[in-house]
Structure 1
Amino acid sequence: METVLQDHPILNHASQLGKRLLETEEIQRFRLAEKQVQNSHRVNSLIEEIKRKQKELVHAKHYQKPEYIRQLERELDRLHEELDNLPIVREYQQSQVEVNDILQILTDVLAQAVSEKLDVDVSGDVGGGCGSGGPCGCR
């Protein structure tokens, strides 16, 4: 069956759609922001410092050192806030939200188009669709 799916014409359309998505302004902005974040010395040093502090926190919790735990948690909060307030990180996060929104809308549009033609519930309710013994009564 997998061989049949590999040659299915709809996969060609999906591939073309994927290529067109890569050309959108939102995806281009995301890729640029991602590259800037990856190449930022400040971002990378903050991430490394956060990782070190997280490891220290694990050890402090293991050895039950409450005062040191509180100190590390405060330092981690400060580091996360500093990282989150960097303009390139904010731009990256915003562009990520925009890309996720586009992909979610695309998924919803496809699901709705299929649902309307096949009379299938796409509401996302667990246990409520065909074959589940849900509201339609089928099993």
Structure 2
Amino acid sequence: MTTKLYTKDEIVEKAKEIAHMIANTEEVDFFKKAEEQINENQYVREKIASLKTLQKQAVNFQHLGKEKALKLVEDKIAKVEEEIDEVPIVQQFKQSQIDVNNLLQLVSNAIANNVTNEIIETTGGDLLRGETGSKVRNSQPGSCS
């Protein structure tokens, strides 16, 4: 029995299919809706604009070596960030980012684990020990190296 060998292009094509599937999950759908609600929220938009201005000031004060002014601006930045984080839709958006990242990590881990397991199995290895067949064969007592 011969195993089909795949090309990089075929694998990338399958990856695009998986990406399409992920992009059409509840997690990503919720992420998009939450982002849209944030962009429509006047209060959040104003806070973000204020944050950007403060961040520019911080960069300028840092560049000029004005430590006291920098510290004051950094405190203001932290306060505005807290105010933004208190908005429920922002909390939901951040949670949706975590959910999407967890889904991506789950897929990545599933691929990595299955590739490893398949290598071990197709070489006649030991899944429980996580060793390929060549390692198992070469670790047997009395084997010649």
TM-score (norm 1): 0.71
Larger Rg: 2
Match of 1:68 in 2: 69
Shift of 1:47: 1.5
Q: Please, which runs of 5 or more residues in structure 2 have no aligned partner?
A: 1-6, 121-145
What is the CA-CA distance between 1:64 and the residue it aligns to?
A: 3.5
> 1:73-129: CA deviations, max 9, x gaps?
22111101011111111111000000100110110011000011124xxxxxxxxxx
CA spacing shift, 1:69–1:12, aligned 2, 3 Å: closer
Superposition map of 1:1-139 within 5 A: 5-6=8-9, 8=10, 10-119=11-120
One-letter code aligned to 1:85: E
Q: Give the letter aligned to residue 8 of structure 2.
A: L
Instruction: Specify the code of the residue in structure 1 equivalent to 2:83.
Output: E
How many residue pairs align between the two structures? 114
Query: TM-score scaled by structure 2?
Result: 0.69
